[in-house]
Amino acid sequence: MKTTKAGKALANEMKIKFLGVSENERLARICVAGFIMDLRVSAQELADVKTSVSEAVTNSIVHGYKNRRGYVTLCAKLFGTDELYISVSDDGCGIEDVEKARQPLFTTDPGSERCGMGFPIMESFMDKVKIYSRPGKGTKVIMIKKLGCDLAVKDGSAAVKRGKK
C-alpha cells in the first residue's frame, strides 16, 4: 500500500462499498464531500470533486452494471494537506475501448438520454484521470486533484466555504 505520494505522507483514507443503485449516487457525493470539507478547499473545488465522483459512480451503475446487481467501491486518500486521490471501481462489464469512451458525446447507451459527457467532465474538473478496465473484468477510475489552488493566498480573503453536503 502506498503511504507517500510525491513525498507527501498519507494523512487520511476512506473506503466505502455500496450497492450500485441510483440512490447511492448522492451517498457517494456526500461521502467524498465529508472527506474533504474540513480541508483548505474552495467551493468550486468541492463542487468539482463531487461532480466528478457523481459521474464515475453513475457510470458504474448505468454502464458497468446496467440492470444487474453489483457493488461500487469508492476510495479516497489524502496525501499531505492537499493531494487528493479518488478511485471508483466496479466489477461490471468493463469498457471495450477506453479511448473511445473518453471522447465527448460517446455513449454505449444511445437510446437513453445519456449525453456521453461523464469522462470529459471528470477530465475537466480533476487534474488527472486514469481508467483501468477490461471487458468482463470491471472498471477502476482514478482521479487526482490538488486542492486549495483556487484560494487567494495573499490577503487571506480566500473564498473558502466549508462543505454543504
Q: Which residues bind other proteins (CB under 8 A)?
A: 22-23, 25-26, 29, 43-44, 47, 50-51, 54-55, 58, 61-62, 112-118, 120-121, 124, 164
Judge whether 23 counts as a catalytic residue: no
Judge whether 59 counts as a catalytic residue: yes
Which residues lie across from 17 on neighbouring strands? 73
Residue whose grid cell is 444511445: 110
Q: How far apart are CA 46 and CA 44, in angstroms?
A: 5
Least distance to other proteins from the beta carbon of 16, Å?
17
SS3 label, residue 54: helix
SS3 label, residue 138: coil
Q: How far apart are CA 94 and CA 102, in angstroms?
A: 14
Judge whether 24 counts as a catalytic residue: no
| The one catalytic residue among 24, 29, 45, 55 | 55
Specify the residue, 142 or 149, whose C-beta has the smaller distance to other proteins.
Answer: 149
Least distance to other proteins from the beta carbon of 153, Å?
17
Residues annotated as catalytic (active site), given as ranges: 55, 59, 114
